[in-house]
Each structure stands twice: as structure tokens, then as C-alpha cells.
Amino acid sequence: MKFFKIKFFILLFSIFISILLLIFFRPILTAKHLLFPYSIHSFDIITVYPKTWFYIKKIFCFNLFISNYLIINSISTFFSFNKYTNNYESPLSYSPENDSNLNLLIGNNPDTNQNIFITEKGLYQNILVTGTIGSR
């Protein structure tokens, strides 16, 4: 339920930001004449191509909303992932000193100098161990 509340808030916030940006761009979107003086022959796109200008405005509004939604959603996802800490211990860093089950030592971690084991449960899975040339 919390997931849907967050997505609903993101949707409302992106609509709000889109409305603010449309208010900001209102003079361009409601203009009667829009000259492009940078071409060889300057022309008014609104009077020469009114249907094209209409579709440009529609595509702009649609893309404005979609881009706002995606940006706000990615920002909220970034902050929600940083909120939780990962307490999960990797099965490869398992220390079998006090365990009598079957374990396979595959090496050590050069950063922590800790032995890396594959537990018995992991040995029943498919395993592919690769290394660089000359690493034995």
C-alpha cells in the first residue's frame, strides 16, 4: 500500500510541476506569431504550418509530463534505496569454523583478507568459477 501512495504522490507532484512549466511557457504556446529569423528566409511557423505547430505543442506537453514523472520517480527511487541498509551477509563470506557441514574454500578477499567459502547449500547449485589468464 505504501508503494501506491508513493507513486500517487509522484504522479501528483509531476502534474503540479508540469502545470507550473506550462504556465512559464504559456506565452510561446499561445502566441499568434512565432518568427524564426535564423533561417535563410525567416518565416512564421504558426501561420505557414498551423497543423504542424499544433502537433509540436501537443508533443511538447506530453513529453513535459513524461519527463517530469521519470525524473521525479528516479530521484525518489534513489533516495528510497539509500534509506535502507543491507544487513544481508553474503553466503560466500560465510565462516565455517564452528560449523560441521561441508564447505568449499574458493579463495580469499584481497580487500578484507577474509576466506571465501561456498556452503553446502551452494554446492548443490550450478557453479562457474572463472579467472584471468595465469590465475590457476
Parent domain of 27: 2-83
Sign of CA dihedral 53, 55, 56, 60: positive
Number of domains in the chain: 2
Residues with Cβ within 8 Å of 36's Cβ and at least 6 positions away in sequence, in order, are 42, 43, 44, 45
For 33, the grid coordinates are 506569431
Cα of first residue to Cα of last residue in the chain, in angstroms, is 51
Q: Which segments in the chain show pLDDT lower than 70? A: 39, 81-100, 136
72, 99: one domain:
no
| pLDDT value of position 41 | 78
| pLDDT value of position 51 | 93
pLDDT digits (tens, 9 = 90+) for 88-103: 555 555 555 656 678 8
Cα atoms in the Cβ-side hemisphere of radius 13 Å centred on 35: 5
Element (H, E) at 89: none
Which residue is listed with cell 551477509?
A: 89
Which residue is listed with cell 553474503?
A: 90
24, 65: one domain:
yes
Q: Is 42 left (phi over 0), alpha (psi -120 to 50) or beta?
A: beta
73, 21: one domain:
yes
| pLDDT value of position 14 | 92
- Taking the model in full, what pTM does it have? 0.52
70, 106: one domain:
no
> Can you give the three-state secondary structure of 28-70, one letter per residue?
HHCCCCCEECCCCCCEEHHHHCHHHHHHHHHHHHHHHHHHHHH
77, 17: one domain:
yes
